[in-house]
Structure 1
Amino acid sequence: MAVPKRKTSKARRDKRRSPNMKMTAPGLCICPQCHQPKLPHRVCPNCNYYDGKSVINEVTEAPAEA
């Protein structure tokens, strides 16, 4: 069984890990209805449109129980 002869230093260990830790910004596109940035292939959080159609209906208050 292979066993390391010496402890791996923090600099050597972190040098190996650093390229995999980079975060990338999400790709944004512009909503054709309200012209606000949104994530691609998702319903616009501002106007609730997707592919030119209203997808999410506005939530209305339910009548009060008497």
Structure 2
Amino acid sequence: MAKYFTSNKVGLYLLAIIVVQPIVFKAFDLDRSIVIEITGHSVFIIIGLICIHLNFYFHKNKNHHK
């Protein structure tokens, strides 16, 4: 799993979470319930992990076909 992560990808993902997540939570009023808040944080983390994994997968395939 460590091969999927580079410092740039993780840094950009953390920056996106810091900027986007509060905006989304305020827009949809997700701060009402602790369960919804925990679920929202989990969804953001899972989406980020999937994006990093897909980025690695497609980048690996692109380099493989050269």
TM-score range relative to shorter protein: under 0.3
Which has the bigger relative contact order, CA under 8 A and spacing at least 6?
2
More strand by share: 1
More helix by share: 2
Structure of greater Rg: 1
Normalised by the size of structure 2, how large is the TM-score? 0.26
Normalised by the size of structure 1, how large is the TM-score? 0.26
